[in-house]
Amino acid sequence: MAKAPATVVQITAPDIQTAEFTLVGTAPYVQLRFSAKAMNAMKEKMELGPQAKKGKARVARDFDDDYKQAMHISTEGWNGVPAGAFRQAMISACRLVNFKMTIAKLSVFIDADGYDSVDGIPLVRLEGTPERVDMAVRNATGVADIRIRPMWREWSIKLRVKFDGQQFSLTDITNLLMRVGQQVGIGEGRPDSKSSAGLGWGTFSISGE
């Protein structure tokens, strides 16, 4: 009786592991989401087409509403940080140690605690009390403007990181997250800001470091 040919396995099953960390802010965390109000205003303008600016009265600005609109609020009512912010930060930190970012993109993930009530973005829960901060800025056109941002001066997050155990060890993930906390940051004004050198915001330590 002929034997079945042996199967050669070249692709191993993923070894996805989970690690939980408690992050404690070492600098204020500042958030500025693209508000639902702004999205609706843009949509209305697009729908009106050429009639958009004709005879429309200028509406008084509600700064308290701007403050609320700048936050990520979950469907359960708590403040959150986009889970993707930590994933992107960990991928970005790989540049510091010459690890391929394309591999990290396929190997590091963040467990969400819930979802944004506006657009369903996955969120991790943010512990702390926000305060309103009014800041003078310049838009891309150079025109001065006032931006209202929520700031958490003291904050913490319990973060669950999923990672490919064939690419990273638990120590690797811990060290990578430490680099995020000290060198990359999250939120507005972080050290790794795309548009500036940052304002020293959004840094953190891992509890127990």
pLDDT in tens, 163-194: 999 999 999 999 999 999 999 999 999 999 88
- Give the pLDDT score at 147: 85
Residue type, 56: K
- Give the pLDDT score at 138: 74
How far is Cα 107 from Cα 162, in angstroms, rounded to an integer?
8
pLDDT in tens, 67-93: 999 999 999 999 999 999 999 999 999
- Give the pLDDT score at 9: 79
pLDDT in tens, 111-167: 999 999 999 999 999 999 999 999 887 777 777 888 889 999 999 999 999 999 999
Is the pLDDT higher at 7 or at 22? 22
- Give the pLDDT score at 51: 59
Q: Among candidates 113, 110, 138, which has minimal Cα distance to 124?
A: 113
Q: What is the token pair recorded at 180?
A: 């995020």
Scan for tokens 């304002």, then name that residue: 199
Instruction: Calculate mean pLDDT across residues 87-102.
Output: 96
Looking at the DSSP assignment, which residues form a beta bridge with residue 29?
Answer: 152
- Give the pLDDT score at 62: 82
Q: Look at residue 110 and tell me whether its pLDDT is greater than 70.
A: yes
- Between strands 108-110 and 114-115, the pairing is unpaired
Q: Look at residue 36 and tell me whether its pLDDT is greater than 50.
A: no
Confidence of residue 53 (pLDDT cuts 50, 70, 90): low
How far is Cα 182 from Cα 27, in angstroms, rounded to an integer?
10
Answer whether 104's CB lies under 8 Å from 90's CB.
Answer: yes
Answer whether 116's CB lies under 8 Å from 74's CB.
Answer: yes
Domain ranges, ordered by start, for the chain = 16-50+59-206
Confidence of residue 37 (pLDDT cuts 50, 70, 90): very low
Model confidence, pTM: 0.83
- Between strands 130-138 and 16-25, the pairing is unpaired
E-only strand ranges, 116-188: 122-125, 130-138, 144-152, 156-164
Q: Among candidates 116, 77, 105, which has minimal Cα distance to 168?
A: 105
